Amino acid sequence: MSIFTKIITGEIPSYKVAENADFIAFLDINPNAKGHTLVVPKKEENKIFDLSKEAYASLMGFSYQVAKAIEKTLPCKRVGMSVIGLEVPHVHVHLIPLNAMADIQFMQKVTFSKEEFVDLAEAISKNF
């Protein structure tokens, strides 16, 4: 069972931004930038291009809605999107508010207190 499935089942906590029957979005715990969010299908699958075309399109549709909410909440040049999965083998889309190329490079990290994570997740969630 992946760490993200444990988040989905509530076994471990997360700062939730949005959810429907098939997907969940929560803040990345080690973010590149403020508002860095992960969009995850509830059905555990390792690699994004092993999804059916339909499941892939649904994931993109949900990610689109989450990205709109992030854009409304946080000033940034644009919301960037990345799919990696080398650390957690459970499909997830990274949505990252970008102001500089460094924000999408997964080298520079920013830290927040629990309260800041809670407030941020709530703010994005309200715009979803």
Catalytic positions, written as ranges: 92
Q: How far separated are the first and last CA of the chain, in Å rounded? A: 28
Residue 10 binding ligand 5GP, by CB under 6 A: no
Residue 54 binding ligand 5GP, by CB under 6 A: no
Residue 51: both structure tokens together: 């999804």
Select the residue interacting with ligand 5GP from 3, 48, 104, 123 (CB under 6 A). 3
Residue 86 binding ligand 5GP, by CB under 6 A: yes
* Residues 91, 51 contacting (CB under 8 angstroms): yes
Please state, in angstroms and rounded to a whole number, the distance separating the CA atoms of residues 99 and 101.
7
Q: Is 85 exposed, middle or buried (0-12, 13-18, 19+ CB in 10 A)?
A: middle
Residue 103 binding ligand 5GP, by CB under 6 A: no
Query: Smallest distance, Å, CB 50 to ligand 5GP?
Result: 15
Residues that bind ligand 5GP (CB under 6 A): 3, 14, 26-30, 38, 84-88
